[in-house]
Each structure stands twice: as structure tokens, then as C-alpha cells.
Amino acid sequence: MPKRVDHAERRTEIAEALVRVAGRRGLHAVGMRDVAAEAGVSLRLVQYYFETKEKLLLFGLRHLAERFGERVAARLRAAGDHPGPRAMIEALLMAALPTDEESRTFHHLYTSYAVLAVNDPTLAAQPFIKDPDAAEAALHGLLQQAQESDLLRPGVDSRTEAVGLLAMSAGLGTSILVGQRTPDSATAIFEYHLNRIFGPGPGISAGSASPLP
Amino acid sequence: MPKRVDHAERRTEIAEALVRVAGRRGLHAVGMRDVAAEAGVSLRLVQYYFETKEKLLLFGLRHLAERFGERVAARLRAAGDHPGPRAMIEALLMAALPTDEESRTFHHLYTSYAVLAVNDPTLAAQPFIKDPDAAEAALHGLLQQAQESDLLRPGVDSRTEAVGLLAMSAGLGTSILVGQRTPDSATAIFEYHLNRIFGPGPGISAGSASPLP
DNA sequence: AACGTTGTGATACGAACGTACCACGATGGT
DNA sequence: ACCATCGTGGTACGTTCGTATCACAACGTT
């Protein structure tokens, strides 16, 4: 029926099918046939656009990381520069928490890939070193900017804080994912730490932010 | 040849074989046959002592969590009460980092199980809710104890700090696992935060603890 | 001494997986 | 108008997996 097909677009569609079905049933339980069914194409086509499963998984990871990067960027843009760097930092940290379905899926799959990357060096480089480094640099930049504007309490090490906050975000994200903690409690913890780094200021908009449940 | 066999002991041996081989090749790549070979027994025996793979995995998780709990307890005991609560807290946080092979395996497999638990509620309850809650309670207790001894800076919320530090530990652990960060840099971050919570005091014994590589 | 239970081995089975192969309609270049 | 190539479907192959089955040796009990 169709003549010439945009390969990149088709690969993206299939990769998103992979992300959907993996988010639903777990990455370990996803086969080529599941991806094909979810994408509404034949098994042969998945083979055609990604010759091997490994390549499909790799592309899926890159696509996932890219989509998530765009999401974070959009939230940062939405936060705007108006209320100052603190709002941007809040947006950055909150965007990484698994609150809605999309971020839940991201955390779930990203962690799955991270586990695979421990034994499969092919996966590692870009999404598990470079991307976190970039996030760290971004947060570090925001903190430095705030520091230069004299918004931070004295004695704050912007670099160490950046690393620590991102690690905290990752750890809290996992806790939320497995149901140990609620997004609201994570929000409250961030609020506490931002109050400690900045002076006391205007709070976070979302969530009830009760002390701790 | 042998007459009566201690089931519990045998199950433990097999579970440890599971942990070893899974730590080497990844939990997703481990089959019943691999566990049998690693334990030096026949496939049938693994089936005999754990009827199904799911039960083997479940027991493996509980065993892993238990062994790790003992490890942390031993480190806490080794830290002793003498240098005060700060040393205990340092020991608690450091014990959770993947520094040697044993803790690396623990982090790797525990994360693998956590990913599985997202889609399989059978796994969740004990090791992913109760155990972290216990760790949190322990750290919280140590912080409270330090607070009552007037060792903490004013304005420190012991509960929030406990949760945040443990989340940071988990996040840093994953970063170390995938090779983004070194154990030493994680140590430096803990030192920074403990200096902030306590007054400035005696440093951590292990590691070079350079500012940040 | 006989017997039921327990521990162990070898092997078979059915399903699912990733991949390879074959066939064919449609399309675009010449 | 031909033909090589692209896109697509269907299906088969070989492997591996978890599990089930059969057989039998060794032990404790009576």
C-alpha cells in the first residue's frame, strides 16, 4: 500500500510501543512480538526496522532519555526565570520524580536499563554517564547563579549540593516507585533542603506538603 | 548417599549460588540450570528444594536482604558507641554504598528485584517497604539521640534528614554502580552533609576524600 | 526384613523466544 | 514498460527455558 516510508519516524513509533508495553509489563517481560502487537505492525516489521532486539532496546533507551530530557526542559521553561533560580531548581528536581504515569514509566524503565548496563557495557556510555553529568552541570549552574546573586546561605558548596540533590531525587524516585513513599513526602523533603540552601522563601505550589505521613 | 538433609541449610546454599551467579551475569540472565551448576547440584535438586523459580527468587531476595542487614549491623557494632552517634551514622550510610564486591552485588541485585517488584506485587512487601522503613527508623533514632545530646546544629529536622540521607545513599549507590561516580566522591558528599548537620568534627577514616574528581 | 518416605539423577515436554527464510505487491528510476 | 529495490506478510527453525515425569538408591520405622 504505502510507497516510501520515513524510517526514522517508523522507528520512533516502534520504540514508543516498546516503552509503552515495557512500562506496563516490565522490560524483562517484553519480547519482539509484544512490541509488534503494541505498535500494530507485524513481527517482521520490527525486525525490518531494527534488525536485532539489542538494537531495538538500545534505540528505546536513547529515545526514552531524549523524551525525558525534553520533558524536563519544558518544565524548566514553564518555570520561567521570573521567580528566580529557586523555582527552576524546584522544577528540575520535581520533574525527575515519578509523579504521573509518564515519569513513573521513565523511572521504571530507566532503572531497568541501568541494571542491564551493569553487565552490558554497550548500554552504558551515553544515557548513564553523559546525561546525568549534564543534569548535574545544569543544577550546578543554577546553584552557582543563585550564589552569585547572594541568594544562598553562606557555606553552601554548590557542586556538592547539586550532586547530593540529584542523588536524593533518584533515591526518592525509586522509593516512590516501589510504593514505600508518596510523591508528597518527597516534595516536602525537597522543600526542607531548598529552605536550608536558600533562605526561607515562598514554598512549592503543588501538593499538600504535610510534614511527613 | 546422604541420609537426612537439612533443608534450610541446603536452600541457603542454593540461594547463595543464585546470588553469586546473578551478581556475575545479571538477575535477568539467570536460569534454574545456572543456579544448579553454580551450586554444584543437579537441576532436579533446585526444583526439589524450591518447587518453582518464583519461590527461588523470592527466597533469594529475602536471603539477600537478611545477609545485608547483618552486614550493616556488624559495621554498626564495629563503629561502636565510643566516638558518638556521628560515627554510627557514617557507618550506616557508608555500609549501603557499593564499595566492595559484596555491597556491589547487593546493590545490583536489590535494584533488579526492585524493578521486578514494580510489576509483581508478590515481591514488594517485606524487603522494599519494611526494611527501608527500619533503616529509616534506625537513622532517625541516631539523629534524635545526637540531637538530645545537643550535637546537632539548630534547625535540623532529624526525620527529614534521615529520609533524605538514605535516599541520597541509594541514589549515589546507583551512580557508583553504573560507573558515573566513584565511591570516594560519594564519601565526600556524605562528609559535607554530616558536617552541615553536626558541627564540624573529626572526618571519615576511609578514602582520600578529595573535593570532587 | 519389609516398606513407605526422602533425596537424587536423567530426561522429556511444551511453550516462547529471537532470528532467518521465502514470497510477493508496490514503487520509482530509466 | 521494465526491473531492481523497498516494504511487508507469513512462517519455519533452532535454542532455551521452566516444569513434569520416570526411575531408583538410601534411609527410618515397624
Name the pLDDT band for B199 (thresholds 50, 70, 90).
confident
Q: Which residue of A has its CA nearest to B123?
A: A178
Q: Which residue of A has its CA nearest to B132?
A: A180
Q: Which residue of A has its CA nearest to B126?
A: A180
Cα dihedral across residues B177, B180, B184, B190: positive or negative = negative
Closest by Cβ to A169, choosing from B114, B171, B178: B171
Contact state of A192 with B117 under an 8 Å Cβ cutoff:
no
Closest by Cβ to B118, choosing from A108, A129, A212: A108
Strand, helix or coil for residue A100: coil
β-sheet bridge partners, residue B152: B198
Name the pLDDT band for B185 (thresholds 50, 70, 90).
very high
Instruction: Name the least confident of A22-26, B21-25, B119-123, B185-189.
Output: B119-123
Length A49 CA → C25 C1' (Å): 19
Q: Which of B26, B34, B59, B32 is nearest to B46 (CA)?
A: B32
B48 touches strand C (CB under 7 A): yes
pLDDT attached to residue B202: 52
Residue with cell 536489590: B110
pLDDT attached to residue A131: 95
Q: What is the pLDDT of residues B141-151, one digit of tens each?
A: 999 999 999 99
Q: Which long-range contacts (CB under 8 A, 24 or more apart) does B58-63 make?
A: B58/B122, B58/B123, B59/B11, B59/B15, B60/B15, B60/B18, B60/B19, B60/B22, B61/B109, B61/B113, B61/B123, B61/B127, B62/B126, B62/B127, B63/B12, B63/B15, B63/B16, B63/B19
Domain boundaries, chain A: 1-51, 63-197
CATH assignment of A63-197, among 3.30.1490.20, 3.20.20.100, 1.10.357.10, 3.40.718.10: 1.10.357.10
pLDDT attached to residue B91: 94
Q: Do the beta carbons of residue A120 and residue A165 sit within 8 Å?
A: no
Q: Which residues of A, range 175-204, sit inside 8 Å of B by Cβ?
A: 175, 177-181, 185, 188-189, 192-193, 196
pLDDT attached to residue B79: 85
A4 touches strand C (CB under 7 A): yes
Question: Which architecture does CATH list for A1-51?
Answer: Orthogonal Bundle (1.10)
At B2, list the grid cell: 546422604
Contact state of A118 with B177 under an 8 Å Cβ cutoff:
yes
Provide φ and ψ at A198, rounded to 5°.
-80, 175
At A73, list the grid cell: 526542559
Same fold? B1-51, B62-197: no
Q: Which residue of B has its CA nearest to A21?
A: B119
Provide φ and ψ at A166, rounded to 5°.
-70, -40
d(CA B1, CA B47): 19
Contact state of B178 with A26 under an 8 Å Cβ cutoff:
no
pLDDT attached to residue A207: 42
Rounded to a whole number of angstroms, the distance from the CA of A45 to the nearest CA of chain B is: 26
Residue with cell 517485606: B126
Task: Give chain A residues 8-47 with Cβ within 7 A of strand C.
Answer: 30-34, 43-44, 47
**B33-55 mean pLDDT:** 97
Residues whose CB is less than 8 angstroms from the CB of residue B17 and which lie 6 or more positions away in sequence, other chains included: B35, B36, B38, B39, B40
Please list every residue in chain A whose beta carbon sits closer than 8 Å to the beta carbon of residue B189: 160, 163-164, 167
Q: What is the pLDDT of residues A56-95, one digit of tens each?
A: 999 999 999 999 999 999 999 988 767 788 999 999 999 9
Length A3 CA → D3 C1' (Å): 17
Name the pLDDT band for B3 (thresholds 50, 70, 90).
low
Please list every residue in chain B whose beta carbon sits closer than 8 Å to the beta carbon of residue A164: 168, 189, 192-193
Residues whose CB is less than 8 angstroms from the CB of residue B128 and which lie 6 or more positions away in sequence, other chains included: A178, A179, A180, B113, B114, B117
- Residue range B62-197, CATH number: 1.10.357.10
Q: What percent of chain A has pLDDT over 70?
A: 91
Q: What is the pLDDT of residues B113-135, one digit of tens each?
A: 999 999 999 887 789 999 999 99
d(CA B95, CA B73): 9
